[in-house]
Structure 1
């Protein structure tokens, strides 16, 4: 009976779907991209395309850079010099690396200047800072969330609040982490490489993988019909599964002798002669994804055989937040991701998925 009970305890997953048009005044596409801060993989699929346009290929190859800093004291992120050099002069992102959200202390610096700490009970008590219990702690609170507004903090360096936070990170409980860092700025001067040179900072470029798939069987999608609507052909869950199989280069033929994959394309479907796939992996900023999304929309400025293209974005499983400042958890699944299906009339479907320890996407 215990075995049967465990089999029934399938982790809860939540998939939210909406449709709109990129030209609509109330379209939320840009807001939802810009507030999904920590992205490690971006994938796109363009049916009936054998060679990417120069504009699209150049854009993909220009993603980056981002930086890795080992054993960086958390105190360095609250200094007036850092805030004035990066936080106030662009969008600055930082995320602890190789930390597990359900086991370790994790930290994220949001582009709005909020520093979010997810701390275990002992560390939280040792810092002496004010926070709130994690909403995923269970009956016994073992994790706390601390939010520090760096903009407010740096406005008065002589305030009791700044002195308390500074003392907590520098003397009371000095914390060090490996960090991923990135900075999006327009016309601002400054360099993260030189600023953190004393900590052995490393510059990285995202990993780019471009390929062409022949004779790909694709589901038939119609822009006006989403899951649950009359005559809707392919459900959102089916589309998600299919895209995962395509980007994972799984065998989709459902041959009886294939013991690795018996998966096949949702019906109705059609075979396209060729399709372009692209995957970008690294520490990828929302600002870069917004530009790529717009470029994919412009793909249909000239007539194309393809009726739609897709853009899929996956977030870091161990990020303290998913969208905006919404707390993110792991437990049985740490996914938080979204997918655009972009149609040739500028209609789009937006699908947002989260795992067991997350609230509903915005």
Structure 2
């Protein structure tokens, strides 16, 4: 067997605990700077139906748009930037040949190795030097329209105004309006880990750790049976101990192009979920980023060409404590 096949890809899981009530809590920044999200799911233990506020929020996620064969130069036009961009960057992850043909300034990928085969090009769309009569704008426009014309299919969403403006703005292109897909699963008599908000690393015989919970949530999200034995040929994964049987659990998943703003609103509603007494003292909110996104958090490079893990999860407790779990895969910057 080749040595490369014998070694497992690197995976990274960062866990931290905090409180929503702490002045220096970073939970908003963690959500706001994870830009490209393809799915969000929340698990409500001891719940058999979706509360009205959460149902309204899920149903009101709104549409996003697929624009076909959109030239890259559309994003540097002054009209586009004035209409949609208050702050932001256009970030390209390109191979060596495309980078050389574009002729724009960039930097080697952090994961190129000795032979640099991929480059990152970043363009600040709010840069004053990007005025239509400036040399910088002229060079970028030339690169995108004449030197190396690039067209792609883009998913677009907008939180700051009427999302249908996207459809009217790009009316000369093929624009498809897309709706998020919503699925719900109600599990009954489910083995569930015992948690304590202050015990992130768990406590032998008393409560489970954040890592154990993360693995269990992955199994529940993928409908994997956790009532197994070590001798089971198909799967030996079991619910971590100590655990308890819960009568029912509600899992809701929304799939599509989901903006950080919508996730923050959902997170706030899950905090408010405990304003009335509940049988369970925690809920979870898991967010998956696109596997082929050029970045994960902030401008941290995402190794989408090898792996693609790119997700985070909040465990929200009824005392306003929370756990945050952030996972990244091979060729990814460490989560912030």
TM-score (structure 1 length as normaliser) = 0.88
Matched ranges for 1:279-358 at <5 A = 279-358=253-332
CA RMSD of aligned residues (A): 1.9
8 Å contact 1:309–1:341 — kept in the other structure? Answer: yes
Uncovered stretches (5+) of structure 2, i.e. residues with no partner: none
- Which residue of structure 1 lines up, in the alignment, with residue 70 of structure 2? 72
Indicate the SS of the match to 1:31.
helix
Q: Partners in 1 of 2:6 and 2:65 — Cα distance?
A: 43
- Which residue of structure 2 lines up, in the alignment, with residue 149 of structure 1? 124
CA gap 1:189/1:334 in 2 versus in 1, 3 angstroms: closer
Indicate the SS of the match to 1:183.
coil
Is the counterpart of residue 61 in structure 1 residue 59 in structure 2?
yes
1:41 to 15, 39, 44: 39
8 Å contact 1:226–1:232 — kept in the other structure? Answer: no
Q: Partners in 1 of 2:278 and 2:148 — Cα distance?
A: 59
CA gap 1:21/1:307 in 2 versus in 1, 3 angstroms: same
8 Å contact 1:320–1:329 — kept in the other structure? Answer: yes
- Which residue of structure 2 lines up, in the alignment, with residue 123 of structure 1? 98
Q: Partners in 2 of 1:231 and 1:361 — Cα distance?
A: 31
Cα shift at 1:237: 2.6
Matched ranges for 1:25-40 at <5 A = 25-40=23-38
CA gap 1:230/1:271 in 2 versus in 1, 3 angstroms: closer
Give the number of aligned pairs.
336
Is the counterpart of residue 243 in structure 1 residue 217 in structure 2?
yes
8 Å contact 2:69–2:173 — kept in the other structure? Answer: yes
Cα shift at 1:54: 0.7
Matched ranges for 1:203-218 at <5 A = 203-218=177-192
- Which residue of structure 2 lines up, in the alignment, with residue 225 of structure 1? 199
Is the counterpart of residue 181 in structure 1 residue 156 in structure 2?
yes
Indicate the SS of the match to 2:144.
helix
1:171 to 133, 146, 150: 146
- Which residue of structure 2 lines up, in the alignment, with residue 14 of structure 1? 12
- Which residue of structure 2 lines up, in the alignment, with residue 95 of structure 1? none
Uncovered stretches (5+) of structure 1, i.e. residues with no partner: 89-111
Indicate the SS of the match to 2:127.
helix
CA gap 1:315/1:201 in 2 versus in 1, 3 angstroms: same
